[in-house]
A = this chain, B = another copy of it.
């Protein structure tokens, strides 16, 4: 399939939005490949995403943006248009556990991930060789209780240096400082190894074993200042029984963590996730 523009809009709902937007796209010759709408009737908010074939447009992106701005003001829209030929730059944060990191690197290497992995930052050095096989720069930034402020200053410097658009906590095991959560709001994606809101915080599989649940899960969410409480992008579960030890749960859970994180990240990279309050609208293909 050819490259596309992605036009993403949210605004107060009213009659005529769809017609005006469709009319505008049509005038530019735009061939709509995918379109999704959603009205949240509980708060009167409207969400919309279009994929428009680049080759079909009779104007360039700047001209589109200039023209659309007027219409956007009229409907009080929050909006942006992105280009699938300018994929988002991804900074992966890791620790010692490799399953999520290896999974994302492999997907990227196989051209499955619609983004560009620009660097890995890790607070341990264990995964350096694996990362370097993929020819991705690896930065070892240890985080200790004493060095936390300096470590995160260094970390933010690296992110800025690579102009990363999104930070993925691929089992990073460190809590980001509140200021960093605010600075990168909507740009930091975490994978938590439980079906949130159950089992917030440390050792969720131990918590799950203690409670005797019959399914365990994983949750991909945006990071906010409140631990494990940000907007949820994607979740999934897997069945367990009394016969599974905590080690079995960790093993089974890894498969869920990997796929949930990969799906959630994919949605983000394709601008399919619209955050509103503490919830998300996810326009899955």
Q: Which residues of A contact B (CB under 8 A)?
A: 1, 15-16, 18-23, 25-26, 29-35, 37-42, 47, 56, 98-99, 102, 106, 110, 112, 129-130, 133, 195-199, 211-215, 217, 231-237, 241-245, 248, 251, 254-255, 259, 262, 278-282, 284-285
CA–CA, A280 and B250, complex, Å: 20
Q: Which chain B residues border A1 with CB–CB below 8 Å?
A: 41, 245
- Asked if A26 contacts B35 (CB within 8 A), the reply is no
Which of the residues B15, B32, B99, B245 comes within 8 Å of A31, measured between beta carbons?
B15
In the complex, residue of chain B having the shortest beta-carbon distance to the beta carbon of A280 = B212
Q: Which chain B residues border A16 with CB–CB below 8 Å?
A: 26
- Asked if A284 contacts B245 (CB within 8 A), the reply is no
- Asked if B26 contacts A15 (CB within 8 A), the reply is yes
Copies of this chain per assembly: 4
CA–CA, A251 and B266, complex, Å: 12
Q: Which chain B residues border A102 with CB–CB below 8 Å?
A: 106
Q: Which chain B residues border A22 with CB–CB below 8 Å?
A: 18-19, 21-23
Q: Which chain B residues border A259 with CB–CB below 8 Å?
A: 255
CA–CA, A32 and B17, complex, Å: 10
Q: Which chain B residues border A262 with CB–CB below 8 Å?
A: 255
In the complex, residue of chain B having the shortest beta-carbon distance to the beta carbon of A33 = B39
Q: Which chain B residues border A195 with CB–CB below 8 Å?
A: 195, 198, 215
CA–CA, A195 and B219, complex, Å: 14
Tell whether A110 pairs with B99 under 8 Å between CB atoms, given A212-B278, A255-B259: yes
Q: Which chain B residues border A29 with CB–CB below 8 Å?
A: 15
In the complex, residue of chain B having the shortest beta-carbon distance to the beta carbon of A278 = B212
- Asked if B34 contacts A37 (CB within 8 A), the reply is yes
Q: Contacts A112-B251, A211-B278, A213-B235 given; 9 further ones with Cβ under 8 A?
A: A15-B29, A15-B30, A20-B26, A102-B106, A195-B195, A212-B231, A215-B237, A242-B279, A255-B262
